[in-house]
Structure 1
Amino acid sequence: MTTFADPHLDGRYAWFRLAVSVLAATVASVGMWAVILVLPAVQAEFGVGRADASLPYTATMLGFAAGNFWLGRFVDRFGIAVVLTAAAVALAAGFGLAAVSRNIWDFTLAQGLLIGVGTSAGFGPLLADVSHWFRRRRGIAVATAACGNYLAGAIWPLGLRGILAEDGWRAAYLVIAAICLAVIVPLALMLRRRLPVAAMASGAPGGPAQPMAAGFRPATLQWLLALAGIGCCVAMSMPQVHIVAYCADLGYGVAVGAEMLSLMLAAGIVSRLASGLLADWIGGVRTLLLGSVLQGLALLLYLPFDGLASLYVVSLIFGLSQGGIVPSYAIIVREYLPAREAGQRIGFVIMATILGMALGGWMSGWIFDATGSYRMAFLNGIAFNLLNVAIMVLVLWRTKGPRPGAVALEPA
C-alpha cells in the first residue's frame, strides 16, 4: 500500500499555483465588497430607501451565485485560466458601466449581470481548481484560496477610503475597473497548466479516495448542503452587509463601519486558515458544524452591545467564528462526491450560500425599514443559523466511514 505518488499533488508547483490563486481571488472579490462600501452614498444620491439601496447588493449576490454554478461547469471543461480571463473583462465592463449609471436600476443591473458574475470566478470555480492539486493538505489549501475573498474585504475598503472621501464612489469604481483588467489577466495566464491525471482519478465513487458515505443519494446530499448553505449565509449576511450602515445609523460614521468590516474580515482570514487545518484532521462536516455554532453565539452578542468599543470586539469575535464555514462546503463536496464533477457540484453549493447572502442582505434591509432597527434582523439571522446547525447534525449522524481527515491509500 502506498499513497498517491504524483509529484504535482501537494508539490511545489501546487503551492505556487495556490499563491497565484489567492492573488487573483483578492482582486476579483472586490465586486462583493465595493457595493457595501458605497451603499450609503448610492442611497443618498439616488434618493431611495434602505431596502431599495440594498437591491444592488442582492443583484450582485444573485449574479455571484449563478456565476459560481455556471463558471464551475466551465472550469470542469475548459480550466480556470479561461474562466478568470473572461471574468476580468466582465468586471472591468461592470464597474465602468456602474460608474456612469444614472439611477439605482442601471447601477443594479451592472452589479448583477457583470460584476456579480465576474466576481464569482474568484471563489467557487477557483476553490474547485485548487482542490484538484492537493491530496494530503486539501483542507488548508482550499481554505487558503478562500481567504482571497476576505483579503479583498480587508484590503479594498482601506485602499479605497481616500478615493471615496475625496472623489466619490464613481471615481472609485473606475479605478477598480482598471485594476481588475490589468492584474487578473496576467495571473490567469500563469494558471494554464492542465490538471494532473491523478487528480481526476481520485474521488471516484467507491474508490480509495472516496471513503465517506452519508447514507443519502448524491443529489439528496447536495440539496441538503445547499439548504444548509442558505441558512448559514442568511445569518452571516446581517453583520457583513449592514455593518457600515448600522454604524452610520448609530452615529459612528461610515469610515468607522468600513474599519469594522475590515476587522471582521481580517479575523475571518484567521478563522479560515484555522478551519482548513482543522478540516484536514476532523473533516469538513465537523469543522462546518463547529463554525456554525460559534457564528450563532456571536450573533447573539450583537443584541446587548451597541457601544463603539463593544461593536469592534463583537465584530472581531464574529469574524473569528464564521470565516471557515463557506470553504468547508467545498471540502465536504470533495470528501463525499466525485472529483470529475467537483466544479459544478462545488459551484452549486456555493451558489446556494450566495443566494443566502443575497436573501439575507435584502431581508435585513426590509426588516430595518419595517421596524426602524436591526434588532429583529439579528434575531432572524439567528433563526436561520439554527437551520444550518440542524442539517449538519443530520449529515454527521448519517455519515459512515473512516475518520473524515484520514488520507486514503491505494495499491501501488
Structure 2
Amino acid sequence: MSEAKPPVARPAARWIIVGAVAVLLAIAMGQLVNGLSVFFVPLELEFGWPRGAIALINSAGLVGLALGGILMGMVADRAGVRRVALAGAGAVGLCVLLAAGASQLWQFYLLFFLAGLLGAGLFAPLLSLVGNWFPAGAGLAIGIASAGQAVGQGGVPFATAFLIEAVGWRQAFLVQGAVSLAVMLPLALLMREPPRPARGQAGAVAAAPPLPPWVAVPWLSLAVIGCCTCMAVPLMHLVPLIHGHHISSPDAGGVLFVMLLAAILGRIAFGRLADHVGAIPAYVTASFWQTVAVFAFTRIHDLGQFYLFAPIYGFGYAGVMTGVLVTARMLTPVEGRAAMMGVIIAFAWLGHGFGGFQGGWLFDVTGDYTLSFAMAALAGVMNLMLVGSLFLAVRRRRRQGLALA
C-alpha cells in the first residue's frame, strides 16, 4: 500500500485574493502606467507644454514606482503585505484627487512621483503574494492577477477619454481619485499571507532557484529595461499617434481599449503557457511577438486598420509582463521574494518611464512617431538577447545539476 500524501492546503481564499489583486492592479496601474495618455492633448491645449514635458509626468510616476518597488518590497517582507497595500491605495487615490487642482508641471511631477512611490505596494508585493499562495500552477494565477492590469490600462484611458470630453480634465481627475479610494481601500484589507505549511510536510521546502539570486536578479533586471522601454511607447503614444491622423480622442482611446482587452487574454494565456513550457520560454515568445510587431503601428493610417492590428499586437505584448513576473518568481527564493521582485520590477518601471519619455521627446524633435517606435523595437531586440542568454545559462546549470545527481 502506498504511503498517503499529506494534504495540500487549497483554501478558497487564494482565489479571492487573486480577484482582489486583479481589481487593485486594474485601478492603480491603469492610472499610473498609461492613464495619462488621454491627458496629453488637453494639457497641451490648455498650457502649451510640449509632449516630452507632459510625458515626463508619467515618467515621474514610473520612477516613483521603481524606487517604491524596492522600498515597499522590503517593507512587505517585514511588516506584511496588507499594510503596504493600504498605503498604496490611499496614496494613489489622494494624489490623483490633488492632480485636479495642479497648474504647474512640477506639481504634476511631484504628485505622480508620490503616487508611484507609495502605490508600488500594489504591484510587486501583491504579485509576490499571489505566487506564494500557489505552490503549483503559479503561472496561471499570476496571469489572471496581472490581467487586471491589462483591464485597467485599457479601461481607465477609455473611460477617462469620455469623462474629459464630458466634464473636462480636472473633473476627470476628481472622479478617478474618488473611485480609487472607494474601491481600493476595502480590497486592500483582504490581503493576507498564505498559511505556513507544517514542519515536515511534503513540499514545505521550495526548490532552490536554478541560479544564485545575486546573478539572476541583476541579469533579469537589465533585460526588463529593454522589454518595458519597448512596450511603453505604444501604451503612452498610441492614442496621440492615432489622434494625429485626425481621428477623435474617444476613437483613439477605443483602439487602445481593444488592444488591452486582447491583452487580458494574452496575460492569462501566457501564464498558462509558462506552466507548460517554462517561465523563460514563455517570456521569450511574448518578447519576440512584441518586438517584431511594435513598429507596424507607424505604417497604419486608417482607424479600421488600427482596430484590426491592435488586438493582434496586444495579445502577444501582454505576455511579456506575465513572463517577467513568472520568471522572477522562478529565479528568486521564497524568503525575501517580495524585495527581490521589487528590484526587478523597479528596473521594469525605469524602462517604462524612459520609453514613454523618449517617445514624446523624439516626437518633439522629428514631428512624428516613426523614430520613437523604431527605438522601441531596438530596445526589444536588446531584451531578447539578454533573456535568451539567461535561458541558456539556466539550462546549462540544470544540466550540470542532473549530471551531479
Structure 1 residues 3, 395: CA separation in 2 closer, same or farther (over 3 Å shift)?
A: farther
The answer on whether the counterparts of 2:67 and 2:117 sit within 8 Å (CA) in structure 1 is: yes
- Summarize the alignment of residues 283-322 of structure 1 with structure 2, pairs less than 5 Å apart: 283-322=278-317
Look up the SS of the partner of 1:198 in the other structure: coil
- How far apart in 2 are the matches of 1:257 and 1:360? 20
Q: Tell me if the contact between 1:200 and 1:339 (Cα under 8 Å) persists in the aligned partners.
A: no
In 2: Cα distance, 1:15 partner to 1:186 partner: 17
Instruction: Go from structure 1 to structure 2 and tell me whether the alpha carbon gap of 1:165 and 1:213 turns closer, same or farther (over 3 Å shift).
Output: same
Whole-angstrom distance in 2 between the partners of 1:199 and 1:235: 44
Q: State the partner residue of 1:331.
A: 326
Structure 1 letter corresponding to 2:14? A
Identify if the C-alpha distance between structure 1 residues 194 and 378 changes in structure 2 by more than 3 Å, giving closer, same or farther. closer
Deviation (angstroms), 1:264: 1.3
Q: Give the Cα–Cα distance (whole angstroms) in 2 for the partners of residues 304 and 199 of structure 1.
A: 58
How far apart are 1:330 and its partner, in Å?
A: 2.2
* C-alpha contact 2:81 2:193 (8 A) present in aligned 1: no
Aligned-residue offset at 1:322:
0.9
Q: Map 1:61-80; keep pairs closer than 5 Å.
A: 61-80=62-81
CA contact (8 A) 1:285 1:332 kept: yes
Is 1:197 aligned to residue 196 of structure 2? Answer: yes
- How far the C-alpha of 1:3 sits from its partner, in A, is 7.0
Corresponding residue SS for 1:323: helix
Please state how far the C-alpha of 1:212 moved relative to its aligned partner.
4.8
- 1:100 is aligned to 2:101: yes
CA contact 1:248–1:254 (8 Å) conserved in 2: yes
Hey, what's the Cα distance between the residues in 1 that align with 2:228 and 2:199? 30
For residues 260 and 120 of structure 2, the distance between their equivalents in structure 1, rounded to whole angstroms, comes to 18
From 383, 390, 393, give the equivalent of 1:398: 393
**Mapping of residues 18-29 of structure 1, within 5 Å:** 18-29=18-29
Q: Residue 409 of structure 1 aligns with which residue? A: none
- Provide TM-score, normalisation by structure 2: 0.91
- CA offsets per residue over residues 343-379 of structure 1, 9 Å max, x none? 0111111111111110010011111111111111111
Residue 14 to residue 402, structure 1, CA distance change in 2 (3 Å): farther
Distance 1:117 1:269 in 2: 26
CA distance in 2, matches of 1:222, 1:318: 28
Instruction: Give the RMSD, CA atoms, in angstroms.
Output: 2.3
Matched, 1:389 2:388: no
Deviates more, 1:374-383 or 1:103-112: 103-112
Distance 1:303 1:200 in 2: 58
Cα distance in 2 for partners of 1:200, 1:17 equals: 25
* Aligned counterparts of 1:49 and 1:317: Cα–Cα separation in 2: 31
Query: Aligned partners of 2:198 and 2:352: how far apart in 1?
Result: 31
Q: Distance in 2 between matches of 1:120 and 1:308?
A: 35
CA distances 1:213-256 after superposition (whole Å, capped 9, x unpaired):
24xx4222211111110001111111111011111112112212
Are 2:259 and 1:255 equivalent residues in the alignment?
no
- Opposite residue 183 of structure 2, the aligned amino acid is V
Question: 1-side partners of 2:58 and 2:341: how far apart?
Answer: 22
Residue number in structure 2 paired with 1:341: 336
CA contact (8 A) 2:36 2:157 kept: no
What are the Cα deviations for residues 305-330 of structure 1, in whole angstroms up to 9, with x where unaligned?
A: 23222222222121011101122222
Q: Quick check: 1:29–1:120 contact (8 Å CA) kept in 2?
A: no
In the alignment, the residues of structure 2 paired with residue 42 and residue 35 of structure 1 have an alpha-carbon distance, to the nearest angstrom, of 10
Q: 8 Å contact 1:131–1:141 — kept in the other structure? A: yes
Structure 1 residues 176 and 218, CA gap change in structure 2 (3 angstroms): same
**Percent sequence identity over matched residues?**
27
206, 209, 213: which is aligned to 1:209? 206
CA gap of 1:353–1:29, structure 2 versus 1, over 3 A, is: same
CA displacement 1:82-113 (0-9 Å, x = unmatched): 11111122122211221101222212211112
Residue pair 2:92, 2:119 contacting (<8 A) in 1 also: yes
Q: How many Å separate the matches in 2 of 1:3 and 1:333?
A: 29
Is residue 43 of structure 2 the alignment partner of residue 42 of structure 1?
yes
Tell me the distance in 1 between the aligned counterparts of 2:309 and 2:324: 25
User: Aligned pair in 2 of structure 1 residues 2, 342: CA closer, same or farther (>3 Å)?
Assistant: farther
Identify the residue that residue 403 of structure 2 maps to in structure 1: none
The answer as to whether partners of 1:158 and 1:259 remain within 8 angstroms in 2 is yes
Asked if the contact 1:276–1:324 (Cα under 8 Å) also holds between the matched residues in 2, the reply is: yes
Q: Residue type of the partner of 1:36?
A: S
The offset of 1:210, in angstroms, is: 2.2
Residue aligned with 2:335, SS? helix
Structure 1, unpaired ranges of 5+? 404-412
Equivalent AA in structure 1 for residue 237 of structure 2: H
1:142 paired with 2:142, answer: yes
Contact 2:76 2:125 in 1 (8 A): yes
C-alpha offsets along residues 167-203 of structure 1, whole Å, 9 cap, x if unaligned?
1111011111111221111112222x4432239999x
8 Å Cα contact 2:258/2:311 also seen in 1: yes
Q: Give the aligned partner of residue 129 of structure 1.
A: 129
**How many equivalent residue pairs?**
394
